[in-house]
Amino acid sequence: MMKLAYVALGANLGDRERTLSEALSRLGGMPGIRVERVSAMYETAPVGYTDQPNFINMAAALATSLPPLGLLRELLALELAMGRVREFRWGPRIIDLDLLLYEDETLQTDELTLPHPRMGERAFVLAPLRDVWTPGEVFPWEAQIAPAALEREGIRRLGPDSEPRGPKEGESHAEDRQCGDE
């Protein structure tokens, strides 16, 4: 049975847009993972260590047959395959993939905490997450991403090519499998 998971994607080194598109394409090609919806791209100022380039952040809604730890391990393996190097906390990165939510599950292990422990404090995560939130469901963090908050935190939605994507009316999700290949 497929489960719904939400993933945050970010990059601030190299060709950020291309890297994020490649990550989405690779995610969609993995066994047990189907990309359902993809957010717009948002340019954001770095948090923590600020002497680095701006990030581009996105989110994706995934349907997956993998359990939470299995999905996390696939995300980490993809980061490594794409050249992610972890030099220090909040440092620059070619790609960053974070598992935010997995259905309604809560989990606390050395390897994974669900929901992601700091996502509700991070407008740069919440703005793209709202783009891919299940249609018709209330988005619980609406107040944290009011326009004034996004402006204050330097979060800017990028151009028309980065509008949220998902299956069009009448299309199946399978037709949207490779969202990053558009």
The set of catalytic residues is 84, 93, 96, 98
In whole angstroms, give the CA distance from residue 16 to residue 76: 18
178's tokens: 């490779």
Please tell me whether the peptide bond between 115 and the residue prior to it is cis, using omega within 30 degrees of 0.
Answer: yes
Which residue do the tokens 């923590």 mark? Answer: 48
User: Alpha-carbon distance 111 to 109, whole Å?
Assistant: 5
| Cα distance between residue 162 and residue 38, in whole Å | 9
Cα 167–Cα 168–Cα 173 angle in degrees, nearest 5: 25
